[in-house]
Amino acid sequence: MDFKEKIDYKKVPRHVAIIMDGNGRWAKSRGKERIYGHENGINAVRETLEAAGELQIPYITIFAFSTENWNRPKKEVDTLMELLVSVIRKESQELCKNGIKLHTIGDLMTLPEKCQKELKEALNITKNNNKLNLIVALSYSARWEIVNAAKQLAKDVKEEKIKLENINNNIFEKYLTTSNFPDPDLLIRTSGELRISNFLLWQVAYSEFYFSPVLWPDFTKHDFFQAIFEYQKRDRRFGKTSDY
Ligand code: IPE
Ligand code: IPE
Ligand code: MG
């Protein structure tokens, strides 16, 4: 089925978040090292960005590396970091060509210095682009983010910058790393795993979830369009009833 043809352009999500999973299994099924899967995962990111561009979706967030992923074997982590540096370096111009503005969320200080430097440069190079915002979650976990927000908020209360009785959802959100972005309307996870793995716990409170069996390196524009098509069939009630 041609899913793109069936998409209602007036009802595309504003923000799609993606847990890009299955690189390791993809490589293993080909008798290769896990890093081969990560390398091929880059194609799926390109496909996704192209598809999002075609649908004029303004925000895409991708989960590239979790806080817990530091516990993988050193060799995989090191090669993944090197891959990251080379991809950012190579792709910055391409991002500009497509009007993509890069953002990052996560505990970036824990990344190797070389990575931090490349990221800073790419953020700078892409800062005036305004077609699509690409938010890359790196060394990110939602519990880290929420605890961090609570700490900052407590500090501001202590320093009397904010009154305890004034704290509400809107104020709390300002302390999250995603404060400049709308909440995801749709969360996609590939590879058939049905869990959230510490991703955007606060922000997905009312997101629609879509689980795809496809391993991330095989994920194409067609799969993305299918996810959007399925999303458009959902009835988002936000706690209300549909008949009002
Ligand atoms: C997702 O693929 C990429 C990262 C977590 C960095 P995995 O590496 O988790 O691949 P699987 O889930 O083991 O197949
Ligand atoms: C989640 O995938 C993190 C990223 C996609 C970066 P994992 O592969 O790390 O998650 P689990 O371990 O299967 O829950
Ligand atoms: Mg995985």
- Ligand 2: nearest atom to the Cα of 193: 13
The answer to whether the CB of 106 is under 6 A from ligand 1 is no
pTM score over 0.75: yes
The answer to whether the CB of 92 is under 6 A from ligand 2 is no
The answer to whether the CB of 217 is under 6 A from ligand 1 is no
The answer to whether the CB of 141 is under 6 A from ligand 1 is no
Ligand with minimal distance to 71 CA: 2
Largest pairwise CA distance in the chain = 59
- Contact between 167 and 158 under an 8 Å Cβ cutoff? The reply is no
Domain-embedded: residue 173: no
Reduced to 3 states (helix: H, G, I; strand: E, B; else coil), residue 25 is: helix
Structure tokens at 136: 């890359």
pLDDT tens per residue across span 84-101: 999 999 999 999 999 999
| Beta-strand runs (E) in the chain | 15-19, 59-66, 100-105, 132-140, 186-189, 208-211
- Per DSSP, 236 falls in state -
Domain-embedded: residue 14: yes
Domain-embedded: residue 130: yes
Residue-level pLDDT at 243? 74
Ligand 1 centroid, distance to 22 Cα (angstroms) = 5
Residue-level pLDDT at 244? 62
The whole-angstrom separation of Cα 191 and Cα 214 is 5
Return the percent helix, strand and coil in the chain, to nearest 5.
50, 15, 35
Give the active site residues.
21, 69
Q: How many structural domains comprise the chain?
A: 1
CATH number at residue 113: 3.40.1180.10
Domain-embedded: residue 199: yes
Ligand 1 centroid, distance to 20 Cα (angstroms) = 7
Ligand with minimal distance to 142 CA: 2
- Contact between 13 and 181 under an 8 Å Cβ cutoff? The reply is no
Domain-embedded: residue 25: yes
Domain-embedded: residue 128: yes
Task: Label residues 164-175 b or e (16+ Cβ within 10 Å = b).
Answer: eeeeeeeeeeeb
Domain-embedded: residue 167: no
Q: To 5 degrees, how large is the angle CA 178–CA 98–CA 93?
A: 95
The residue range of the domain holding 197 is 9-141+183-231
Q: What is the mean pLDDT of each run of 10 residues along the chain (244 residues)?
A: 97 98 98 98 98 98 98 97 94 96 97 96 97 98 98 98 98 98 98 98 98 98 98 97 78
Reduced to 3 states (helix: H, G, I; strand: E, B; else coil), residue 97 is: helix
The whole-angstrom separation of Cα 223 and Cα 219 is 6
Neighbours of ion ligand 3 (CB under 5 A): 21
Domain-embedded: residue 133: yes
Ligand 1 centroid, distance to 160 Cα (angstroms) = 44
Q: Pick from 39, 10, 82, 61: which is nearest to 199 by CA?
A: 61
